[in-house]
A and B are shown apart, each in its own frame.
Chain A
Amino acid sequence: MYTRLRGLIAPLIFLLIASFGMAQRDIVVGADSNGEHYDPQRGLSGSAHIMMAMFDSLTRLDPAGNLQPSLAESWELIDNHTWRFKIREGVTFHNGEELNAEVVKLNIDRLVTPHQTRASVGSSVTGAAVVDAYTIDIFTVDVDPLLPSKATNFLIGAPSLVQDPDNDSTAFNKHPIGTGPFKFVKDVPGEYIRLEPYADHWNGAPAATSLTFRIIPDRSVQLAELISGGVDFIENVTPELIDLVNSSGRAHVVISDSTISHTIPFRLDVESPLQDVRVRQAINYAVDLDSIIANVLSGYATPIATVVLPGVLGYNPEVTRYEYNPAKARELLAEAGYADGVTIEFDFSPAIGELYNTEVIQAIARQLSEAGIKLNLNSLEYGIAIQRVYGDRTVNPAFRWQWKIWYNDPDSILYGFYSIGGSAAFVGDQEIQDMLHKARYNMDNAERAQIYSDLQVKFREQALQLPLYNLKYIYGVSDRLEWEPRVDGRLYFGQTTFVD
């Protein structure tokens, strides 16, 4: 019996060593989840890193966030509804198929096919036409200055997978095929996905001999694996554990700014004390955010004055946070008729807001209570929170939210929070709406920047939100790797090299 057992176990152990073993140039990433979907038109943020390894897009952002050519070598605006892209020649997919304008068109067709769930959302694309073998026109509803930036998310799949725009994405999911630096090897749902380098990548093959994303849901366990050498990379290190990682002799942390704005938006469209601008300003005066960041977040966050972050188009450095002034807050409250205090219903989810979110909310609530503002904290499960904001819009007048800024442009976040009909917008101000609209369909970047800059002044005056901070990304990276963080927070291992 024992020998029979051993006969069974030995190959198992061998397999395990073979798959997770640390041959010199393997990269194992400890990931929260893998999104479990690798169709570019369907995949979720959880699989974004993985898809980025397997697929290239028409354009790409360099680590600093600047727009660069990728599968498209160049692009130009032909008329107000048309962008023309010149496709790179000689690019092949992992299965040997070749890239050309026709293949790009098939992918764009799929993007605009209604039942692909993530298809064309916010992309303004209406279709595409082949001009010649390596030139393609992409049509938009109106002039779209951001289309080349949005094209960083147009991941191109192999022709055999995209031929039929109506097909479901089962085939895609079983074996995704792109032109990216890594090709698909194996996906074990719930455990790992394994990729190998694609030797014929147009931008040169990556240095790694394999790239595995292992699912480790618990972040403390991710860290334990990192400092024991079980994985080479983790996405989130708690500030308090930075020293532990750096002194482990195996790994170090890499810190960079995130492009996620954390904030507390207010609803003006429902009856509540928050309809009074003085109450909103009082809230802004009553929170000592610096103390919260310094203590609760160990300083690993930057306070923000509006959701537009530094470095983003139209960022207005003149717009500052309301200073911490509880006396002023009380004064404003009294003026608004709430000398005896005011109660505000507040929604949040432990799953939204990242690092120490529940603690930060309680610290804010405590500070507000000292100024006479009682925040009634309602804890919501993630799906219910999303539902209340994006779905039936029944969220309470104040809620904790976050939004990622894409390609250093504020269009998406400002539409999301301030437009009429924006998914997390409950402001309903026609003037703001007109300004946003004017900036969205505008090819003059200087003019756009000016509009966004003016808007931020307005947001501050009106105190439409309690802006919080953007957190630092703290990555844990094996000492064997030389890895560069990206402004957009995506994990990219195509250019990662090894320390020898």
Chain B
Amino acid sequence: MTSDKKGARITQLHGAGGELMGELLDRLILPKLGRATAERIGLRALDDGATIACPFTAEGELVLTTDSHVVKPTFFPGGDIGLLAAAGTINDLAVMGARPIALTLAAIIEEGFLFVDLERIIDSFASAIESVGVSVICGDTKVMPAGDVDGILLNTTGVGIARHAVSDAGLCPGDRVVLTGTIGDHGMALLAAREEFNLSTRLQSDVAPVWPMLAPLLESPSGDAVHAMKDPTRGGLAAALNEMARKSGTCIEIDESSIPIREPVLGLSELLGISPFEVANEGKAILIIAPETVDDALRTLRAHPLGTDAAIVGTVTEAYPKRVILDTEVGGRRFLDMPLGDPVPRIC
């Protein structure tokens, strides 16, 4: 690892959700944090959230998650940092199988930031939490001198309740891999919107809270057939699938032709040489579902507007433990490995 060298410094890739971020956590941060578990799922699981025994109901688990948002540009096609912060935290709870209850909101703002922009951001945040029925119950505001922070950064912590929290490691051979919609939209929309790329595209971020789409499935009897979940944010589908395969010791075999992907995303990824499998999504989930239930589950997901493109994209097997295999559209076959990091920086 690059940090073995004397005077080594953190690079953007150390925060990009891939192999390097994993190494940073494993080798520098986690070993120093001895007390890292409060209940069943703790820090070391490196899941989307952690659990605490729920003091209110005997059968439930309290799920806790936290996230900082540093997106550039602050306003992007399809959303802004306010919507992203709300959706990001709600989604981390949702893919733990937890109904979101409450959020915190902390803002670090650069001196000179426009009131009107802050107002838009808070409006987006408010309408996102309203749509899910979750409350924001405490917060913090700091202002930094101009130049000490780039625009605005938000941090949100979320708390939710799950009947039984769903980890990202519960994959069993035979399970089907379900993707709730198209991939690559968020990362590619941000890339296209950056000033250095003079591209006019129809790309929109997919940023949205996924709980309203997942709730009907998770809170139905079929919910127990959902063995694992993850939201493919930084590092995209490739990073999320590799994490799931590694943690569960299974192999995930993906059928490329069944992966929903929009034409402009595919076109831009070809143009820039950036794989759509490696860029972030902010309104999607990967669900690992028992085969006998998957068709029912798919119907339930598709009944929600966010899930109309939901598809079965692969199967959990034992072929190559801890690896992900991609059956390509033309009929080829290769490993889909953990990316070093998301190729697009500052996306969430």
User: Do A and B assemble together?
Assistant: no
